[in-house]
Amino acid sequence: MKFFIDTANLDDIREAQELGVLDGVTTNPSLMAKEGITGKDNIMAHYKAICDLVEGDVSAEVIGTTFDEMVREGEELADLDDNIVVKIPMIKDGVKALKYFSEKGIRTNCTLIFSAGQALLAAKAGASYVSPFVGRLDDISTDGVALIEQIVNIYTNYGFTTEVLAASIRHPMHIIQCAEVGADVMTGPLSAIMALLNHPLTDSGLAKFLADHKKAGAK
């Protein structure tokens, strides 16, 4: 399973990168706005800064919602760095843009996926990744992990090469459950990745080992 971090915060990206388990980054317009990144030049420079930090795919989302706008923005984003993956929303013109980019050899991540039908359409259009939003489905009492499993099964049935990128991950159990059902990738905040580290028995076990070592040394 690949681990992506879902943020535009350079410190968080650096920290995950230093842990040695990071395979890429996903961003979205809300995450960019949260970091105060506005204006085309700043946005492009920030994507470039992320690409320079990380060895792996960096999803950069288009803002336009027409085919022409998405194609223009996506081409500019793809020109920035080889690791850029153009993030396209699951709307009608988005599906057309996915097909266009796939024929041009530009990699894409189809975002805002909330149903198996949408995921099937994105795969047919040649998306490199689909991003079903696990947490946002859970928020409305719908099983987000079940959708991941359904999409993994459909893609396996037909040999689609589109990777299932479990997005809107909120906590470590989401990561584990998505791994169990075969998600290719997960993207979540630094807190969810770091929370995988924790177990009270690890902490108490280590404290005991160190205390025993100290005691033995004192004799």
Instruction: Give the interface with ligand E4P as residue ranges (CB under 6 A).
Output: 6, 26, 28, 111, 131, 133, 135-136, 167-168, 187
Residue whose CB is less far from ligand E4P, 28 or 128: 28
Tokens of 7: 């943020």
Instruction: Name every residue whose Cβ is closer than 8 Å to that of residue 70 and which is 6 or more positions away in sequence.
Output: 62, 64, 88, 93, 94, 97
Rounded to the nearest whole angstrom, what is the least distance from the CB of residue 208 to ligand E4P in the complex?
A: 38
Rounded to the nearest whole angstrom, what is the least distance from the CB of residue 190 to ligand E4P in the complex?
A: 13
Residue whose CB is less far from ligand E4P, 65 or 202: 65
Rounded to the nearest whole angstrom, what is the least distance from the CB of residue 7 to ligand E4P in the complex?
A: 9
Largest Cα separation within the chain, whole Å, is: 77
Which uninterrupted H or E stretch holds 111? Answer: strand 108-113
Residue whose CB is less far from ligand E4P, 179 or 211: 179
The Cα 7–Cα 169 span in angstroms is: 12
Instruction: Name every residue whose Cβ is closer than 8 Å to that of residue 171 and which is 6 or more positions away in sequence.
Output: 192, 195
Of the listed 87, 96, 124, 214, which one is catalytic? 87
What is the rounded radius of gyration, in angstroms, for the C-alpha atoms of the chain?
20
Residue whose CB is less far from ligand E4P, 83 or 131: 131
Clarify whether 92 is annotated catalytic: no
Rounded to the nearest whole angstrom, what is the least distance from the CB of residue 126 to ligand E4P in the complex?
A: 19
Catalytic residue numbers read: 87
